[in-house]
Structure 1
Amino acid sequence: MLILFVLTLLACNKHSYGFGSDPKISCIESEKQALLKFKATLIDEADVLSSWGSEPDKTNCCKWWGVKCNNHTGHVTVLNLSKISPSFSLSGHVTVVSISSSLSGKISPSFLELQHLKYLDLSWNYFSGNFSPIPNHHLGNVSSLRYLSLRQNLGLSVGNLEWLSYFPLLRHLDLNSVDLSQATNWLELVSKNLPLLEHLDLSSCGLPNPVPHLNFSLSLITSVDLSENSLSSSIIIDAFGKMISLVHLNLYDNEFAGSIPKSFNNLSRLQSLNLMENSLTDQLDKFLDKLSGKSLQILNLEWNQLRGTLPDLTRFSSLRELHLPYNQLTGPFPTSLQLPNLGALNLRGNQISGMLPDLTVSHSLTFLDLGHNSLNGTIDKSVGQLSRLEYLDISSNSLEGVISEAHFSNLSSLKFLDFSFNSLVFNISSNWIPPFQLDVIRLASCKLGPDFPKWLRNQNNCSELDISGAGISDIVPNWFWDRPPNLVYLNLSYNQMKGLVPDFSVKFSDYPSIDLSSNRFEGQIPRLPSKVESLNLSKNLFLGSISLICAITDFALSYLDLSSNQLSGWIPDCWEHFQKLNIINLANNTLSGKLPSSLGSLSQLRALQLRDNNLSGELPESLKNCLELKILDLGGNRFTGNIQPWIGTHFTKLIILSLRSNNFYGDIPLGICQLNNTHILDFSQNDLSGMLPRCFGNFSAMIHRYDSMREAIDFVYMRGRQGDNSEGYIAAIYLANALVQWKGQEREFGKNLDLLKIIDLSSNKLSGEIPQEIASLAELVSLNLSTNNFTGKIVEDIGQMKNLESLDLSANRLFGQIPATLALLHFLNVLNLSNNNLSGKIPLSTQLQSFNPSAYSGNPQLCGDPLPNKCPGEEEGTKPPLIATGNEKKIQEEDGDKLITQAFYISMGVGFAFGFWAIFGPMLLSSISGYACFKFLDKLTDWLYVMASINLARLQRRLQS
C-alpha cells in the first residue's frame, strides 16, 4: 500500500521529489544560502542532510538530498524532507520505499526566500514549536508554493492560520496531526485565502467548531479530510453541500448528529464519503435519498445510529464499497443487491434478519462481512461461486445446516474465513483438497468433529486458526504439529482432543497466542516459544513442574493460564522477565512452597489466581508493588501470617479479594476498608480474631450501583502479534471467575460474576458487636458472618440492605430480638440465624415465615411462626396480628375497641371530604399561601394514611371475629 501511495503521488506530481535534476544545472547562490539557514535550525542526528554543505563536492544544492531545481533556470522548485521517500533504479522507476531517519527541531521561515519553490513536504518528522511563516518585507507578498505538507509532526503548532494569505496559489494543503486548536476561524481563512485549493487535509488537528455567519466558497476543492476532530457544528456539514466539485469527503470520527442536508444531492461528482463514527440518527433510506447516486463509489457510515431496513440500492450503480456496520439496521436482507461493481459489503453488528440471499449477482465481491446479525436458515451453495471473494465473515448469527465442499467450490481467492458461533455442521470428505490457501480460519462452535479435520493439512499459510468448541474428540495428528511455523494464534479449546503436545519452541512464529484449554492433553508442559504472548493450557491433564515458563525470555507475555491441571512443585522465581504480564492463573493444581518475591516485579499484573493449591508461608512484601491488581484469589492454600494493611492501601483497584480457607490469623487491619472498588471480600475459614472494624461500612462499590461492573471485572488485555507489526494486536477479554460460598454451597462464578457483591467472614474467631455501619452496604447481595464469636444484637437498620439475597449469622452469640426491619428485605431467599441467643417473637412478613424452622433453631427463647413453639399469650388457632412488634399492649387495645363499626369509617370518609373542600378550597386558589398549604397537606395526608391503615386493620379483625 505504501508503494502504491508513493506511485500515486509521483503520477500526480512528476517533478515533486528531489531526485533526478539535470546534473549540468547549478543552483543559485542566494537559494543555497537560504537552504543552509533552513538546515541550521534542524536537528539531524542521523546525518540525513549530509549532502548539504559548502565543501567543493557539495556546492551544487540541486544535487542535495530532497532538493530539486528547474532544469532550465536553476531555481529550487522542490524541497522534500519527508521521512518517507522513494528509491529509484537507474531507469528512474521506484524499486523500494525507504523510510529515512526523522528530522527534528524548528522550521525556519527561510524557505520563503526560495521564491520559486512550488513543492514543500516536511511530513513524518518530529518538528516542534510554532510554524508561523511570515516573510521579510523585501520578499513581496505572494509565494509561488502550490503544495505544502506538514503531515504527522506531532509537536508542531501552526497558530491561527492567518499566514495562509501568503500562499494564495496553494492547491494542496496537508496539516494532518498538527495542532490547530487555536484556529477558531480556520474554515473562513481557508475559504478566503486559498481560492485555488483542491486538496485539504486537517485531520487529527484538534479543530474547534467554526464561528457562525460564515461566508464560504471553495468551488474548486475536490478532496477534504477533517477526520478525528470531534467537530459537531452544522455550519461545517452545511458548507459541504456548496462544494460542487467535491470528489472525496472524509469526516470520520467527529460528532455530527442527525442527518446530512439535502444540498448533498448537488454533489454529483462525489465518489467517496466517510462519516464513520459520528452520531447520525436518520432512517437509512432517507439518508441515502440526500445523496446523488451517479458517481458514488465508496460510502462508509460505520458506527452511527442509522435506523430502518436496507433499501434498494440499484441507483448507486457505481458503488464499489458499502460500509454500514454497527448501526441499528433491522429487517430482512435484500433479495438481491443488483450491484455488479460492488467489491466490499460490510453490514456487521446490526439486527438484520432472514435468510442469506443469492449473492452471485455481485460477482465482483472481494469483501463480505455479515457477522453479528440475526440471519437464520441455511447458507446457499451459490456463495461458492464468488470467485473473487477474499474475505468472508458470517459469524455470530443463527445460521444452521450442513456445509459441504460445494460451499467453497470456486473460492480460490479466499484468504479470510469466519463461520464461528453458528449451528453449522461440516460434512467434508477426508480427501478433500480446498481450492484456497487461507490466512485466517475461524470456525469456533461449528461442528467439525469427531475426527480431526484432515483438510487443514493443505492450509500451509494460516496465521490464525480457531476451531474451539468444534466437537473434536480425536488425537491431534502429527502432521498438524509439523506444519510450517506460521501460526500466531491457535485456539483448540473446548474440545476433547487427546495426546501428547510436542516441543512448542520451534512450532510457532514470534509472539504467538496459544489456547489448548478444556481438552484432554497430557504429559509434561511442553517447551515454550521464547516470545510467546499468550498461553492457556488450563483444564487438561498436564502434570509435573511449571519451571519451563522460565524459558520464555521475551517481555511480551501478557496472559498465562495453567489452572486445573495436575501440576506440582514450586512456583519458579523468574517473573522479572514478564513486564507486560496481565494475568496469572495457576489455580486448581498441587503447587507447593512459598510465593517467590519476583512476583512483585509485575507492575502490570491485574489478576493473580492461585486458589486450591498447597502453597504456604507469608505473602511476600514485594507483592505490594503490583498496584494494578484487580483480582487476588489465594483461597484454598496454607498461607499464614497476618493480613497485611498494604493489601488495602496499595491494591486500591481490587474487585475480588479472596483469602478464604487459609491459616491467616490476627486482626483484620483498618487498611482493608480502603478497598472502595471491591465486590467480593472473602476471608472465610481462617483463624482471624478481634473485632470487625467499624469502617466496614465504607466499601463504596457495595454501597452504590455501577452499571459497568461487568467491564470492570472482565477487563481487556492485548493478545496477538507484537513486535514491528502493530496491526496484529487484538483486544481480548479476560473472563474472570471466583469460587464463593453462595446460598450455603460453594460455587464457581464466571458468567454471572458481575451480579455478586459479597462479604464472607465465616468460620473465624471474630468477636465483639457487628458494626451498625454495615447496614449502609445497600448493594450487598450476600453477607455471611457465621461461625464466629459475635455478640450483641443484630444490626437494627438491617432493612436498609435492600438487595440482600443471602444472610447467614448462625453459630455466634447474638442476643435480643430479631429487628422488625428484617421483614423489609424482599429479595431475601436464604436466611440462617440458628444457634445464637436470640429471643422474642419472629417478625411477621411474607418471607420470614416461609423459611424452614431450621433457620431459627438453636435459639431457645425465640418463638412464633414458623417455629412450633408459640409466644406467651398466643392461643392455639388465633390469627396473629398483621404487624408484630412484641408489644402485647397493641393487641389488647385492638380487642378493647368495641365501638368501631364499618359505617363509622364510611361516615368519617364522607365528612373528611366535605370538610376538606370547605376549609382548604379557598386557600388553594391563593398563590401566596399555596406552597405552605401543600406542605401542610402533605404531612396531613401521611398521618391520615397511617391512621386509616391501622384502623382498617382493626376493623377487619373485628369483622372476622
Structure 2
Amino acid sequence: MVPGNNNVAAVKCKAKEREALLALKNDSVDLHGILSSWSSALNHSECCKWKEFISIGPLFYELESDLYWVSSISSSLRYLSMEQVDLSSASDWPILIANLPQLRELRLRSCSLPNVTSTSLSMSFTNFSDSLTIIDLYDNQQNSSVYQWLMSFHSSVTVLKLIDNYLDGPIPEAIANLSSLQELWLGDNKHVDGIPMALWDLCSLRVVHLNDNSLTGLIEEFVPTISNCAKDSLKVLDVSENSEIAGTLPNLSHLSSLQVLIFDGNQLESIRLPAIKLGPRFPSWLRSQQERCVWLDISSAGIEGIVPLWFWNFSLSLNYLNVSHNQLVGEIPDLPVEFKDYPQIDLSSNQFHGNNFSGTIPTSFGRLEQIQSLHLRNNKFIGELPLELSNCKELRILDVAHNNLKGPIPLWIGDKLG
C-alpha cells in the first residue's frame, strides 16, 4: 500500500496485507459489524478501501474519531498507527489504549489528542497493558500530565517519542522508572531546569534527544553523572538549542559506545572530546560555540577531509587547540595574530600542508608571539623551518617530527628551546 497517495484508485492492495487483515478480523469479536467491509469476496478484495484499516493516515481514515471501535478488536490488536487523524474529541483515549492487552506499538502522530485528565488516569490505572514497547505521540500539544499515564508502562516501554508537545517544568525524575527504556525523544518542548541524574541509571538507554527546550545548568555538572549505568549503552546524546546550558564539556572518553554528540545552540567555554568519535565529517555544531569557547580538544575523533574555512576564524578565540590524530587534509591558511594570549596548538598526525600550496610551514605562525607549544608532527610539510618562528617569544615546545623538512637546525632554536 502507499499511505498518503492522493489518488485512491491508484493504491493497490497486496495479497499479503489482505490476508493479514482478514486474519485479524477472524481473531476479533465484532459485535457491531464494524469490520463488515473486510472480506475476501471479489468485490471487496481491495483492502486499501476497507473502512476500518487500522494503520492509517488522513487518506484512509473512515473510523470513528472517539476510538471506541478499538474495544471491538482489543483481544488481538498489536499495532496501532494513526497520523494527522483528528482525535480531539477522544477524551478517554488513555483508558482505551491502556486496556489493549496485546498492543505493542502505538503511533498517534499529529492527532490533536486531548490532555490526560485525572479521571482518565484513575480509570486507566486499573488494567494497564504490559506489552506496549513503542509509544509515539509526536505533535499532540500534550502537557506534562501525560507523564503520569506513561509511568504505568514502566516495565515494557523501550521507545518513547514525545517530540513537539507542550511538556513543561522539569523532566520528571520518575522517568527513570521506565526500566526498559532505550530511546527517549523529548525535543521541541518547554522543559526547564537540569537533566535528572536518575536518567543515567537506565542501563539500556541508547538514544537521548533533549534538544530545543529551555534546559539550564552547567554541563560539567550533569555529564559526569553519565558514568552511571548508561555509560556503556549511550550512543546518541542531543542537547542542542538549550541556550542556558553552558560551562565546560569534560572528557567523555568513559562513554565507550557514544557515536553522536550534538551541542548546537549552547555556549560552552571548554570542549574536551579526545578519542570521542565525531567524524567522519567535520562537526559543524562547533561553529555555534565561537562566542565563549577558549579550549577545544577534538583529537583522535575520526574526522576526515578538509577543515572548513570558518573553523580557522573560530580558532582565534582559543588559547588551546588540539585537532591531532585525525585525517584532516589541505592547506593551513595564514593565521592572524588575534589568537588569545599564550595559545597551545596541536595539529600533528594529520595530512596538512603549508600555505600557497608550497608545502612549507606557514610563516604566519611567527605572528603568534605568545604561543607556548606548536605540534606539527606527522604531516606533509617540506622545506626548512621558517625564520619567522624565532618571533615566538614564549615558545617552549616545537614538534615537527615525521615531515619532509630539510636543512640545518636554526641557531635560534638553541636560544628559544635550549
Q: Same fold (TM over 0.5)?
A: yes
1:282-681 to 2 correspondences below 5 Å: 282-284=193-195, 287-310=196-219, 311=222, 312=224, 313-315=226-228, 316-317=230-231, 318-327=233-242, 328-354=244-270, 356-360=271-275, 362-363=276-277, 368=283, 369-373=285-289, 374-377=291-294, 379-380=296-297, 383=299, 385-387=300-302, 399-400=315-316, 407=323, 410-411=326-327, 428-431=354-357
Change (3 A) 1:399 1:275: same
2:150 matches 1:250: no
SS of structure 1 residue aligned to 2:248: coil
Contact map agreement 2:51 2:60 (CA 8 A) in 1? no
Provide the rounded CA distance (Å) in 2 between the counterparts of 1:290 and 1:218: 23
**Equivalent in 90, 112, 123 of residue 38 of structure 2:** 112
**Equivalent in 195, 211, 222 of residue 117 of structure 2:** 211
Displacement after TM superposition at 1:178 (Å) = 1.6
Amino acid at match of 1:191: A
Displacement after TM superposition at 1:323 (Å) = 0.4
Displacement after TM superposition at 1:375 (Å) = 4.0
Change (3 A) 1:181 1:132: farther
Change (3 A) 1:183 1:358: closer
1:686 aligns with none
Provide the rounded CA distance (Å) in 2 between the counterparts of 1:195 and 1:366: 45
Contact map agreement 1:157 1:179 (CA 8 A) in 2? no
Displacement after TM superposition at 1:292 (Å) = 3.0
Provide the rounded CA distance (Å) in 2 between the counterparts of 1:188 and 1:390: 54
1:223 aligns with 134
Provide the rounded CA distance (Å) in 2 between the counterparts of 1:239 and 1:198: 16
Displacement after TM superposition at 1:409 (Å) = 6.2
**TM-score, normalization: structure 1?**
0.28
Provide the rounded CA distance (Å) in 1 between the counterparts of 2:293 and 2:185: 30
SS of structure 2 residue aligned to 1:187: helix
Provide the rounded CA distance (Å) in 2 between the counterparts of 1:77 and 1:349: 47
Displacement after TM superposition at 1:109 (Å) = 4.9
2:238 matches 1:238: no
Provide the rounded CA distance (Å) in 2 between the counterparts of 1:344 and 1:290: 18
Question: What is the percent sequence identity of the aligned residues?
Answer: 25
Provide the rounded CA distance (Å) in 1 between the counterparts of 2:132 and 2:312: 43
Amino acid at match of 1:68: K
Provide the rounded CA distance (Å) in 2 between the counterparts of 1:364 and 1:326: 19
Provide the rounded CA distance (Å) in 2 between the counterparts of 1:220 and 1:258: 29
Contact map agreement 2:63 2:69 (CA 8 A) in 1? no
Amino acid at match of 2:15: V
Amino acid at match of 1:67: A
SS of structure 1 residue aligned to 2:176: helix
Displacement after TM superposition at 1:189 (Å) = 1.1
Aligned length: 304
Provide the rounded CA distance (Å) in 2 between the counterparts of 1:412 and 1:155: 53
SS of structure 2 residue aligned to 1:174: strand
Change (3 A) 1:199 1:379: same
2:178 aligns with 267
Displacement after TM superposition at 1:348 (Å) = 1.1
Amino acid at match of 1:325: S
Change (3 A) 1:209 1:335: same
2:94 matches 1:181: no
SS of structure 1 residue aligned to 2:110: coil
Amino acid at match of 1:387: G
SS of structure 1 residue aligned to 2:149: helix
User: Larger % of helix: which?
Assistant: 2
Displacement after TM superposition at 1:351 (Å) = 2.2
Contact map agreement 1:153 1:178 (CA 8 A) in 2? no
**TM-score, normalization: structure 2?**
0.61
1:802-951 to 2 correspondences below 5 Å: none
Change (3 A) 1:222 1:412: farther
Contact map agreement 1:227 1:254 (CA 8 A) in 2? yes
SS of structure 1 residue aligned to 2:274: coil
Q: Deviations over 1:26-80 (max 9, x none)?
A: xxxxxxxxxxxxxxxx96454x54xxxxxxxxxxxxxxx51138xxxxx93358x
Structure number with higher relative contact order (C-alpha < 8 Å, ≥ 6 residues apart):
2
Q: Deviations over 1:395-428 (max 9, x none)?
A: 79964279xxx94863379xxxxxxxx9799984
Contact map agreement 2:38 2:47 (CA 8 A) in 1? no
Change (3 A) 1:331 1:409: closer
Provide the rounded CA distance (Å) in 2 between the counterparts of 1:398 and 1:282: 29
Displacement after TM superposition at 1:151 (Å) = 3.3
Provide the rounded CA distance (Å) in 1 between the counterparts of 2:235 and 2:245: 20
Provide the rounded CA distance (Å) in 2 between the counterparts of 1:391 and 1:189: 55
1:701-850 to 2 correspondences below 5 Å: none
Contact map agreement 1:314 1:337 (CA 8 A) in 2? no
Provide the rounded CA distance (Å) in 1 between the counterparts of 2:96 and 2:113: 13
Q: Deviations over 1:358-387 (max 9, x none)?
A: 421x2475574334234433644x53x322
Contact map agreement 2:304 2:326 (CA 8 A) in 1? no
Change (3 A) 1:357 1:391: farther
1:697 aligns with none
Provide the rounded CA distance (Å) in 2 between the counterparts of 1:333 and 1:227: 30
SS of structure 2 residue aligned to 1:202: strand
**Equivalent in 20, 24, 43 of residue 77 of structure 1:** 20
Change (3 A) 1:274 1:396: farther
Amino acid at match of 1:163: W
Contact map agreement 2:158 2:182 (CA 8 A) in 1? yes
Contact map agreement 1:376 1:398 (CA 8 A) in 2? no
Provide the rounded CA distance (Å) in 1 between the counterparts of 2:305 and 2:101: 43
2:106 matches 1:200: yes
Provide the rounded CA distance (Å) in 2 between the counterparts of 1:364 and 1:301: 19
Provide the rounded CA distance (Å) in 1 between the counterparts of 2:84 and 2:213: 24
SS of structure 1 residue aligned to 2:16: strand
Amino acid at match of 1:329: I
Change (3 A) 1:267 1:330: same
Change (3 A) 1:395 1:239: farther
Change (3 A) 1:45 1:239: closer
Change (3 A) 1:231 1:391: farther
Amino acid at match of 2:170: S
Provide the rounded CA distance (Å) in 1 between the counterparts of 2:38 and 2:268: 57
Contact map agreement 1:121 1:149 (CA 8 A) in 2? no
Displacement after TM superposition at 1:289 (Å) = 2.3
Provide the rounded CA distance (Å) in 2 between the counterparts of 1:208 and 1:240: 15
**Equivalent in 43, 57, 68 of residue 16 of structure 2:** 68
Contact map agreement 1:264 1:292 (CA 8 A) in 2? no
**Equivalent in 274, 278, 281 of residue 189 of structure 2:** 278
1:172 aligns with 79
Q: Deviations over 1:202-254 (max 9, x none)?
A: 011111113323223132111000011111141x1122222121110000000
Change (3 A) 1:350 1:301: same
Q: Deviations over 1:484-515 (max 9, x none)?
A: xxxxxxxxxxxxxxxxxxxxxxxxxxxxxxxx
Provide the rounded CA distance (Å) in 2 between the counterparts of 1:408 and 1:153: 54
